[in-house]
């Protein structure tokens, strides 16, 4: 869940640090540099254990008319009007080892997840010149990359986003509320327990499709220097009404994720992007 819910630390870190901005000044067609950050999240949605991930990676942002590569993913923007944007893209989530989580010990690890699919973005209002209220509707197929590629289901993650930015993009802030819904396959991937892995403390469980979590999010960034930008995010996930609340692998009613990061721009295009 990416763009957006994100399931594991890497996707949470990158997706949360990509605010939906109001009308922007002209930006370079491309930027390249280095990104570093740390995020603390549940090991998986509903886990009792927490995972700390630190990343230092090169990054490339490309703001083409159709092809886009930015902090929210890589994809193709197929429709772009004043009110509606439609794109197709993908994102990655890092794996988690079951040996690190007592509730899953002895079960298969959670592998790297590749999420791919369309996203519809609708601008609902612009309360001020520097703010925007929007609705995002991403639908993603989830593919696990672990000893080959395996389809692990699909998610739908509607969210309402209010974004605010300062003059010349000196700072950006966004608040969001949303939910993550999954089909039977992705819910079973996280919460199902087959008879082969059942124990006295972990009874077998057949997962079903439906709500995975509801989410409140707050994220922002601040330009420290022309080439340096700092990021931070906070997310609260609630599982109380999840379709698979009875699963022995869903151990918490709620969970929080936090992260901070720095981005250094090494080079940028002299040519501006055409929006």
Cβ burial 162-200 (10 Å sphere, 16+ → b, else e): bbbbeeebebbbbebebbbbbbbbbbbbbbbbeeeeeee
187-205, pLDDT tens digit by residue?
999 999 999 999 999 999 9
- Reported as a single tens digit per residue, the pLDDT across 62-81 is 776 655 555 555 556 666 67
Would you say residue 14 has pLDDT above 60?
A: no
pLDDT at 63: 73
**Can you give the pLDDT at residue 20?**
41
- Average confidence score pLDDT of the chain: 84
pTM given for the model: 0.83
| pLDDT tens digit sequence for 166-180 | 887 789 999 999 999
Looking at residue 166, its pLDDT comes to: 86
168 backbone φψ class: left, alpha, beta (φ>0; ψ -120 to 50): left
Residue 65, CB-side half-sphere exposure with 13 Å CA sphere: 1
CATH code, residues 9-268: 2.40.160.40
């Amino acid at each position: 869940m990416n763009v957006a819910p994100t399931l594991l630390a890497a996707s949470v870190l990158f997706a949360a640090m990509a605010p939906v901005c109001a009308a922007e000044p002209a930006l370079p067609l491309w930027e390249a540099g280095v990104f570093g950050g740390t995020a603390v999240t549940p090991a998986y949605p509903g886990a009792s254990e927490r995972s700390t991930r630190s990343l230092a990676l090169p990054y490339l942002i490309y703001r083409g008319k159709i092809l886009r590569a930015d902090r929210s993913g890589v994809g193709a923007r197929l429709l772009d009007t004043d009110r509606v944007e439609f794109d197709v893209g993908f994102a990655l989530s890092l794996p988690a080892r079951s040996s690190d989580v007592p509730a899953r010990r002895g079960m298969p690890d959670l592998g790297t997840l590749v999420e791919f699919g369309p996203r519809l973005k609708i601008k609902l209002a612009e309360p001020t010149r520097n703010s925007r209220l929007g609705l995002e509707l991403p639908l993603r197929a989830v593919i696990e990359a672990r000893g080959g590629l395996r389809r692990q289901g699909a998610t739908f993650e509607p969210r309402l986003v209010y974004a605010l930015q300062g003059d010349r993009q000196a700072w950006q802030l966004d608040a969001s509320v949303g939910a993550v819904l999954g089909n039977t396959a992705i819910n079973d991937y996280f919460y199902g327990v087959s008879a082969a892995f059942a124990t006295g403390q972990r009874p077998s469980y057949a997962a079903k499709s439906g709500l995975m979590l509801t989410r409140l999010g707050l994220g922002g960034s601040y330009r420290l220097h022309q080439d340096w930008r700092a990021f931070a995010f906070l997310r609260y996930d609630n599982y109380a009404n999840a379709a698979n609340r009875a699963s022995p692998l869903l151990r918490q009613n709620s969970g929080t994720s936090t992260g901070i990061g720095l981005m250094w721009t090494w080079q940028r295009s002299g040519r501006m992007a055409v929006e």
